[in-house]
Amino acid sequence: MNEFENDVKTDITRSMSNRTCCRRSLLSGMLWGAKSSGRVHMEDNLCSVGFDNAASLKLMCHLIRENYHIQLTPKIKKGSKKNHFMVQIMYADRFNQALNEIGLIDESLGFLKKVPGRITRSNCCRISFIKGAFLSTGSIREPSRGYYVEFRTFDESFLVGLQEMLERFQISPHFFYDRSFPVLYIKESDQILSLLSLLGAYHDLLKIEDIKLIKEIKNEVNRAVNCDSYNTMRVVEAAQRQIAVIRKAERRIGLYNLPQSIQDVIRLRLDHPIASLKELSHFTKNRVSKSTINNRFKQLEKIVSNK
């Protein structure tokens, strides 16, 4: 697991709903995903569930203790390349009740073949289930190396159901088979941003947007270099500095908390990331001068530096 993926999964664990039904759906998604990817093992009276992220394991333990008052034994298995996080649960009537309530087993204690409709009846519960599924089966590439998200399991029917849920939120993943194993993947940057927003990983979403914006700027620079490299580079460097200040303001203050005049030039800059100040002035409704736009960016820098 790369550092970015670890950050994404940790952020997801912090964006839980307070609704009982959604917390149940979240736990269901985590355990359904773990079962479908071969991370649930039954032996005698002991059930072991594994994750590749410590925060995911901690969340699952919290949900089970909170709702079912079951004793758990978390463990860390150290590996040569990465650690594996697992929890051991004693098989008992209370645990069987939990597995039944979250839609993993039926009344006869047999594993169900698909997720019951009651677990994902509403949109809020579907979102929670998708969060749980990503925590147990999902992965995301470091954005500097490209845009790619996948859900990988041994159970095709689980991924088909997950695909249908994602499509309800205008996210369209694709299928492929890796050595006969089904994989659900997304490689379009806008779709990945929509997924991270759905999962509640807003901080990581901003990281991808920044990297994407920098890549677009660099591509524009490379195309413009043959025409007028020096002047273009000066304009782009100034634009990058302004965008960096905008991102700081977004994180520290919130753009909607800024004066409207500054919000207007921020929107202009984000809509035209490599335009000069003179070009930006032409895009304004009342032909705001270049110097006025420059002064507003200086005001923004001053506001950010004081926070």
**Range name among 59-73, 214-228, 293-307 with the lowest pLDDT average:** 214-228
pLDDT for 156-174, tens place per residue? 999 999 999 999 999 999 9
Alpha-carbon gap, residue 269 to 277, rounded angstroms: 9
Burial label for 139, CB within 10 Å (0-12, 13-18, 19+), is middle
pLDDT per residue as tens digits for the range 114-136: 888 889 989 999 999 999 999 99
CATH number of the 3-199 domain: 3.10.28.10
Task: Determine the 3-state secondary structure of 111 from DSSP.
Answer: strand
Q: What is the pTM of this model?
A: 0.70
Q: Order of strands across the sheet with 46-51?
A: 40-43, 46-51, 84-90, 72-77
